[in-house]
Amino acid sequence: MVNLMWRARIKKVTVTFIIILIYIWSSRGVGFNIVEILRDIPQFFSLLGEMIPPNWAYGRRIIPALIETIQIAVMSTILGTVFAIPLTLLAAANTSPNRVVYFVAKGLMNLLRTIPELLYASILVAGVGLGAFSGMLALVIFSTAVISKLTSESLEAIDGGPMEAISAVGGNRLEVIRYAVVPQILPAFGSYSLYVFEINIRVSTVLGLVGAGGIGVPLQTSLNLFRYQNAATIILVTFVFVMLIDYTSTRLRERLL
């Protein structure tokens, strides 16, 4: 009994020591310095002071950019949802036609998720040009990958009984998907789509930082020109807008599940 207690303590001490070493290694790598942080606190509050009061009159000028942000999020979510449907079916073991297709679809899905959405936006801005279209394309790729990832995992966990029953009476693959798979997975699929829409709203607010449209464009311009009161207005409007979208989407997802 004593030996077991000592082993448990040694294990805890060892794990704690390893965590501390990893923390020290990481902090050195990023140049973390608590002294510099404390020294820069007055400068931070000075910057906040320059943002107060916000320039509320500037709020009318950012409405077009806010609308563009909504349009980017809506279009990217709709297209991403459509493109995710076939990828989901191919990347789920119980609906994929064979193992080769399953592994290829799974690999493509994971590959799309590897690259951050802002990097997609930067690449597309360089290839397609500045504007909301590049931002929308970047979020389409991101939405497709996330929705297909979440839905395929839920799809693999559904009850296989209805699928076997339809197959036993001569139903083909499309009939199995239509009558056995879709009714079970549709609520989760809708919930994941709304969740991705929330994420797209948040991400689309910063796409303008790389020239991909949205409300991030006037924010970046205001910061570059040191018009901090305008920037404060954009930040507050964006915060309220995102909170409203999150609340609405959460209520809708609760009804679906």
* pLDDT at residue 257, as a whole number: 60
Retrieve residue 213's tokens.
Answer: 């449209």
Average confidence (pLDDT) over 144-169: 82
| 29 and 104 assigned to the same domain | no
pLDDT grade, residue 182 (50/70/90)? confident
Q: What percent of the chain has pLDDT over 70?
A: 97
What's the one-letter identity of residue 127? Answer: G
Asked whether residue 50 carries a pLDDT value surpassing 90, the answer given is no
Task: Give the span between the Cα atoms of 131 and 183, in whole angstroms.
Answer: 39
Domain, as residue range, for 86: 60-256
CATH number, domain containing residue 191? 1.10.3720.10
Asked whether residue 152 carries a pLDDT value surpassing 80, the answer given is yes
* pLDDT at residue 79, as a whole number: 93
* pLDDT at residue 180, as a whole number: 78
Task: Give the span between the Cα atoms of 83 and 85, in whole angstroms.
Answer: 6
Give the position of tokens 């991705």: 196
Question: What letter does residue 172 receive in the DSSP assignment?
Answer: -
pLDDT digits 0-9 by tens, 219-240: 888 888 888 888 888 888 888 8
DSSP string, 66-131: HHHHHHHHHHHHHHHHHHHHHHHHHSSTTTSSSHHHHHHHHHHHHHHHHS-HHHHHHHHHHHH-SS
Listed residue (33, 45, 5, 162) closest to 94, CA to CA = 162
8 Å CB contact between 187 and 200:
no
| 248 and 124 assigned to the same domain | yes
Domain membership of residue 54 (yes or no) is no
Question: Is the CA virtual torsion 140, 149, 205, 119 positive or negative?
Answer: negative
8 Å CB contact between 69 and 214:
yes
Domain membership of residue 19 (yes or no) is yes
**Domains held by the chain: number:** 2
Domain membership of residue 119 (yes or no) is yes
| 28 and 109 assigned to the same domain | no
